[in-house]
């Protein structure tokens, strides 16, 4: 995302806790810095951070950006956060005269690399339109979903549907093996039939190969399930299918699969049924 932004806006100031991308971005003309005051001096600050706690720390800790940002400047948060925290961030920044827009993205690493992400924006229409040229460098679909927090809600809806799909694959596919069906053939049926989804198209080849490190780790993805459960509890919304999928996530985490990707949820039911949904080893 930073690379695409940099291609259109040379001299981009970049900062990262790990610093791993500094060398590559600097070669492209970026200016790496760990100086928070330098970041806060910018008119527009984009955040892309792992979770609620890190966003809170970057903005509002003793060395947080917010205290130094000028009135009229803008924070665009592309992280995935809870709805309530997003509203709280917007309120606290507004008290300092700083504008805020939530713009979480979807599309995984491949579309981030291609610059074809989907950005779901929450905020005032004027702010969204002013930020649109920047977002267009990294996203091919930019949707204004409504006031602040609406982008996070839209991202959550998308993620919950995706996560439920993966949990369903994890539960049903081991049953196919237990009943004597061939895993490769079942995968072909699913991905050419009505059971097909983005989740099946992406994860089935990796599961068949026994590869569970190609995507976002389960322990990090679990935040979406927490956010869904919080909304369900706070608003009294019955979400029984989501609750069942959440139980599968939790079981996978308790069994130690948190560092693996979401496809590793299949290991929960493989263990229960004493099967593996894999391509059989080649015979000679």
Total domains in the fold of the chain: 2
Phi-psi category of residue 244: left, alpha or beta, with phi > 0 → left and psi -120 to 50 → alpha: alpha
Q: Same domain, yes or no, for 142 and 173?
A: no
> Can you give the CATH number for the domain in which 139 is found?
3.40.50.720
Q: What percentage of residues in the chain have a pLDDT greater than 70? A: 99
Whether 31 and 132 map to the same domain: the answer is: yes
In Å, how far are 172, 178, 227 from 273, measured between CA atoms? 11, 7, 31
Domain extent, residue 162, equals 154-273
Cα separation, 67 vs 101, whole angstroms: 18
Distances 69 to 35, 88, 127 between C-alpha atoms, Å: 13, 17, 17
- 202 within 8 A of 215, measured Cβ to Cβ: yes
Q: What is the pLDDT of residues 154-177, one digit of tens each?
A: 999 999 999 999 999 999 999 999
pLDDT of 283: 63
- How confident is the model over 33-49, as pLDDT tens digits? 999 999 999 999 999 99
pLDDT in tens, 100-159: 999 999 988 889 899 999 999 999 999 999 999 999 999 999 999 999 999 999 999 999
Which of the listed residues 95, 114, 146 is the one where a domain comes to its end? 146
Is the domain of 17 the same as that of 113? Answer: yes
Catalytic residues: 155
Give the pLDDT mean for 48-73: 95
d(CA 108, CA 246): 21
Contact 48, 107 (CB under 8 A): no
Regarding whether 167 and 126 lie in a shared domain, the answer is no
Same domain? 135 vs 41? yes
């Amino acid at each position: 995302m930073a690379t695409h932004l940099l291609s259109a806006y040379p001299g981009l100031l970049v900062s990262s806790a790990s610093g791993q991308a500094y060398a590559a971005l600097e070669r492209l003309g970026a200016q790496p810095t760990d100086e928070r005051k330098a970041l806060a001096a910018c008119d527009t600050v984009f955040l892309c951070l792992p979770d609620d706690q890190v966003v809170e720390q970057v903005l509002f800790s003793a060395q947080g950006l917010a205290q130094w940002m000028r009135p009229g400047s803008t924070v665009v948060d592309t992280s995935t956060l809870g709805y309530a925290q997003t509203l709280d961030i917007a309120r606290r920044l507004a008290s300092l005269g700083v504008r805020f827009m939530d713009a979480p993205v979807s599309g995984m690493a491949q579309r981030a690399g291609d610059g074809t992400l989907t950005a779901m924006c929450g905020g005032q229409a004027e702010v969204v339109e002013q930020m649109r040229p920047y977002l267009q460098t990294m996203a091919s679909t930019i949707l204004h979903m409504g006031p602040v927090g609406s982008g996070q809600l839209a991202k959550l809806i998308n993620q919950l549907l995706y996560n439920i799909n993966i949990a369903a694959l994890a539960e049903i596919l081991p049953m196919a093996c237990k009943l004597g069906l061939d895993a490769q053939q079942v995968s072909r049926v699913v991905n050419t039939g009505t059971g097909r989804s983005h989740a099946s198209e992406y994860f089935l080849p990796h599961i068949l190969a026994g590869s569970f490190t190609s995507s976002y780790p389960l322990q990090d993805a679990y935040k979406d399930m927490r956010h869904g459960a919080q909304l369900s509890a706070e608003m009294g919304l019955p979400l029984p299918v989501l609750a069942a999928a959440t139980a599968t996530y939790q079981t996978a985490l308790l069994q130690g699969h948190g560092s693996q990707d979401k496809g590793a949820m299949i290991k929960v039911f493989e263990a229960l049924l004493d099967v593996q949904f894999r391509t059989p080893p080649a015979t000679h």
